[in-house]
A = this chain, B = another copy of it.
Amino acid sequence: MSLPHAILTALLEKPSSGLELTRRFDKSIGYFWSATHQQIYRELGRLEQAGHIRALPSPVPVRGRRKEYEVLPAGRAELGDWVARSEDPKPMRSALLLRMRAAAMVGAPGLRAELERHLALHRGQLEEYRAIEDRDFPPERRRTEPDRLRHLVLRGGIDLERFWVEWLTGALAELDREE
């Protein structure tokens, strides 16, 4: 049940249309929560239904016509409740680690290449996030508490990508020692 709260947060930061939200989820929001445009439009409908958000004044609501949403007080309250809730970390599911474990049983012709491919992907993601950090969090924007929190979250994304880059590098070295 986190997607609606991700959307509420994004809309509080800046009222947006569905497509704008999709773009923001693709780039800057994606480092802590990902979503497709189908999910976003469905959830926008539900949030509007629930009275948590509303479409900004528009003459006639027509399919294909841009709709801008903003958060209503009820939506802000709901988000406040959710933030205060406790929630355990979801148990892990890594298809890559599973592949490695399966490879131990049935052999692994292309495993090395797959690890290298993932390494390249994580390196790319890391660069993207670092660029966002340079752009959105220059030193002077790390002072107020909200900015410090947002920067911390981005650091989470960056540090995780760095973790995978380092881990995959080590794993490849370990694989090489054997062959």
Q: Which chain A residues numbered 104 to 143 have a C-beta less than 8 Å away from chain B? A: 104-111, 114, 117-118, 121-122
Task: Specify the chain B residue showing the minimal Cβ separation from A80.
Answer: B106
Interface flag for A62 (CB, 8 Å) = no
Closest beta carbon of chain B to A164's beta carbon, Å: 8
Q: Which chain A residues numbered 137 to 163 have a C-beta less than 8 Å away from chain B? A: 145-150, 152-153, 155-157, 159-160, 163
Interface flag for A9 (CB, 8 Å) = yes
Taken together, the copies of this chain in the complex come to 2
A152 proximity list for chain B (CB < 8 A): 100, 171, 174-175
A109 to B153, CA, bound (A): 17
Cβ-defined partner of A9 (8 Å) among B101, B117, B147:
B101
Interface residues of A: mostly helix, strand, loop or mixed? helix
Further contacts, 12 of them, CB under 8 A, given A8-B102, A13-B105, A103-B149: A2-B98, A9-B98, A12-B106, A31-B97, A33-B97, A34-B92, A80-B106, A83-B108, A90-B95, A100-B152, A104-B149, A160-B163
**Residues of A in contact with B (beta carbons under 8 Å apart):** 2, 5-6, 8-9, 12-13, 30-34, 76, 79-80, 82-84, 86-111, 114, 117-118, 121-122, 145-150, 152-153, 155-157, 159-160, 163-164, 167, 171, 174-175, 178
